[in-house]
Structure 1
Amino acid sequence: MSEIAVQPTVLDVGAEQLGKIYARALLGASEAEGSTDQVIDQLNQLCDQGLAGSQSLRLAFASPQIDADEKCRVLDRLLDDAHPTLVRFLKVMAKRHRLGYVVAVRDSVTALYDEMTGRLLAEVRTAVPLTDSLRSEVTDQLGQRFGKQVRLHEVVDPALIGGMVVRVGDTVFDSSVASRLDKIGRAASAGFAHHLIANSTRFTSAT
């Protein structure tokens, strides 16, 4: 496949706008070969595991002191099992000195793809990783409430101590308040997600 075409920009636009420009290019390339789901999954892993867990890697991606060729070699070592389309795309970003914006690109890619496929993104923040059964229940209940296929973005936040926070757009369903902590253990096995969504008006709405 030829190099992914990204229109050059004269000015250094904001991260969100630049993310959308590159996101459209990546979606166009991956859709043409039917690899979008795989590419997005691997891009999420790079951002949520690789970059989130390594400050040195984040600094290397963004550093103007590290030349593009060296960044491309880092990508080859880091993504030796990744889809070739994703690797080529990231090398284009490196050569255009835009690799520091990769998280903004990921955010735009997932948002655009959700819009294209009619999926709803829900962030689920818990003190410990979700079990398969609770994940399924949260997905089903949100899908029934909003009438859309739901994609969960799971975040483990030990600071919650217990409970769960579900964010859909600007609305937050918050079950982590202190008055509910003593009910968390029983709630998970007794249809916690159903209780959470069914009683959403009792929880916090954030804008």
Structure 2
Amino acid sequence: MSETASHSTVLDVGAEKLGKTYARALLAATQADGSTEVVVQDLNAVCDEALQHNPKLQMAFESPQISADEKCRVVDRLFGGNSHPALIKLMKVMAGRGRLGYLAAVRDAAVDLADEAAGRVVAEVRTAVPMSDQLRGEVTEQLSQRLGKSVRLRESVDADLIGGMIIRVGDTVFDSSVASRLDKLGKSAAAGFARQLMEQSDRFSSSA
């Protein structure tokens, strides 16, 4: 069963609800000692660096044929020395309840809840080529200044987007895509042009 919760199916709705339930419990357990950000980072690492690149591990977490005790031993062996104890405890609780396969849904919910609690805005940024660290920093700073809030970027690459970038914050779109001017410059120039656009904030136009 997929845990990506990216499609509107009955299974995805169930995963989303379970994800929120466990995510709330995880964040509640970390608020007292201020470890929420660290735990969310560790959860991201487990999902993005371990499960995403190891389908067999994800299948093992989902499998009803593997006992909860064995899953707990795997959690200890793979993550015990690197992840926050609160996350390890949650993973073992989920294993005991046959829910460890929903860890990605927990991550998605935990990230959203942590952003909400911190007053942080999520900006979806679509670019033709992967953003450099410098461009990422400039975009974050520009948006933070415009919105008056801390900003977290959710990045995606769209090869069909010839130049510039498209940024969406909620229902507002900041559009700096100028395909006609970049058509002859190629993808390597696209990133540099996007950086120039961000430096010149008056080039942006926004619409709801």
- TM-score normalized by structure 1? 0.76
Moved more, 157-166 or 137-146: 157-166
Cα deviation, residue 199, structure 1 = 2.4
Q: Distance in 1 between matches of 2:147 and 2:71?
A: 42
Once the two structures are TM-superposed, the CA of residue 92 in structure 1 deviates from its matched residue by 0.7
* 1:89 paired to 2:90: yes
Indicate the SS of the match to 2:103.
helix
Structure 2 partner of 1:149: 150
The aligned residue for residue 6 of structure 2 is none
Task: Tell me the CA shift for residue 106 of structure 1.
Answer: 1.0
Equivalent AA in structure 2 for residue 58 of structure 1: Q
Offset from partner CA, 1:132-154 (integer Å, 9 cap, x none): 32111111222233221101234
Q: Secondary structure at the match of 1:116?
A: helix
Change (3 A) 1:177 1:191: closer
SS in 2 for 1:82: coil
> Residues 42, 176 of structure 1: CA spacing in aligned structure 2 closer, same or farther, 3 A cutoff?
farther
In structure 2, the CA distance between the partners of 1:100 and 1:148, relative to structure 1 (3 Å rule), is same
In the alignment of these two chains, the number of paired residues is 189
SS of the residue corresponding to residue 58 of structure 1 reads helix
**Partner of residue 124, structure 1:** 125
Residue 25 (str. 1) matches residue 17 (str. 2): no
CA change 1:132–1:62 in 2 (3 A) is: same
Report the alpha carbon displacement of residue 27 of structure 1 after superposing the two structures with TM. 0.4
1:83 maps to amino acid: H
Contact 2:129 2:190 in 1 (8 A): no
Asked if residue 199 in structure 1 is aligned to residue 205 in structure 2, the reply is yes
SS state at 2:66 partner: coil
**Residues 17-56 of structure 1 aligned to structure 2 (within 5 Å):** 17-56=17-56
**Deviation string for 1:41-74 (max 9, x for gaps)?**
1111112222222222221221111111111122
- CA 1:25/1:184 → structure 2, altered by over 3 Å: closer, same or farther? same
Change (3 A) 1:175 1:59: farther
What do the CA deviations read for 1:109-132 (whole angstroms, capped 9, x no partner)? 111111111100123344554323
- Equivalent residue number for residue 72 of structure 1: 72
- 1:16 paired residue number: 16
How far apart are residue 107 of structure 1 and its match? 1.1
Q: Is 1:187 the equivalent of 2:205?
A: no
Give the 4+ runs in structure 1 shifted more than 6 A. Answer: none
SS at match of 1:122: strand
> Runs of 5+ in structure 2 lacking a partner?
1-12
Greater mean alpha carbon deviation, residues 34-43 or residues 72-81: 72-81
Instruction: Measure, in 1, the Cα distance between the counterparts of 2:144 and 2:150.
Output: 6
Q: Could you say what secondary structure the match of 1:190 adopts?
A: helix
Query: Contact 2:142/2:198 (CA < 8 Å) preserved in 1?
Result: no
Q: Distance in 2 between matches of 1:77 and 1:127?
A: 40
- 1:14 counterpart SS class: helix
- The equivalent of 1:110 in structure 2 is 111
Shift in alpha-carbon separation, 1:15–1:141, aligned structure 2, 3 A? same
Q: Where in structure 1 are there 5+ consecutive unaligned residues?
A: 1-12
Deviation for aligned residue 1:39: 0.3
Q: After superposition, what is the alpha-carbon deviation per residue over 1:162-185, rounded to whole angstroms, capped at 9, x for unaligned?
A: 654434335555666854453614
Cα RMSD of the aligned pairs, angstroms, is: 2.8
Which has the higher mean CA deviation after the structures are superposed, 184-193 or 146-155?
184-193
